[in-house]
Amino acid sequence: TADRLVVEILADGSPVPPEHLDAPPADDPYASEMQLRTAAAGPLVAESLMQACEAIDSIAPRHAEAAQLLQSGNVDDAMKQLAALMSTWQQAQTVIDLAAAAPGVSLSSVPELDKAATEVVGRLNDMKEALDRRDFSDLADILIEDMPEMVDLWTGALRKAATNLAVA
């Protein structure tokens, strides 16, 4: 049906490597038999949203750790920590974007996602501005005072969206 996603492509019974999807080899024919394995979009997206939720939840204490590094003058280690944190936040946003684009999936029943995204983007922009100013005191304050709330907001919205999709 239309509400399914391709989760695996097999050529002669073996998984097709991701690089072959981007740039297929010139072999003619590539394979004598091709198979597609699909899964219902809703449960797959729900699982992805829960994984994003768990990833955000797992980095919660690292915001305070980065702040402590900044406050102790260990800027290099704090920047490494911040890069990892930002990467996780970005990955979670990517999951949301892909979920919203999945066939047969609607996230409109979870307005908290939009609110969470707006709030998180605002705090991340505040962090970037503090970094640009090299205002490590302000950055540490954001990490300690604002980011725990952002984690709660984001994980709550992700859990609700995942639950809604799992029961749909």
In Å, how far are 62, 74, 77, 109, 130 from 69, measured between CA atoms?
10, 5, 7, 40, 15
Look at residue 72 and tell me whether its pLDDT is greater than 90.
yes
Kindly compute the dihedral angle of the four CA atoms of residues 106, 109, 115, 116, in this order, to the nearest 10 degrees. Answer: -70
Look at residue 145 and tell me whether its pLDDT is greater than 90.
yes
User: Which pLDDT tens digit goes with each residue over 89-133?
Assistant: 999 999 999 998 888 888 888 888 889 989 999 999 999 999 999
Of all residues in the chain, what percent carry a pLDDT higher than 90? 70
Strand 14-15, strand 34-40: pairing? unpaired
d(CA 161, CA 112) in angstroms, rounded, equals 9
pTM of the model: 0.81
User: Which pLDDT tens digit goes with each residue over 50-59?
Assistant: 999 999 999 9
d(CA 120, CA 100) in angstroms, rounded, equals 18
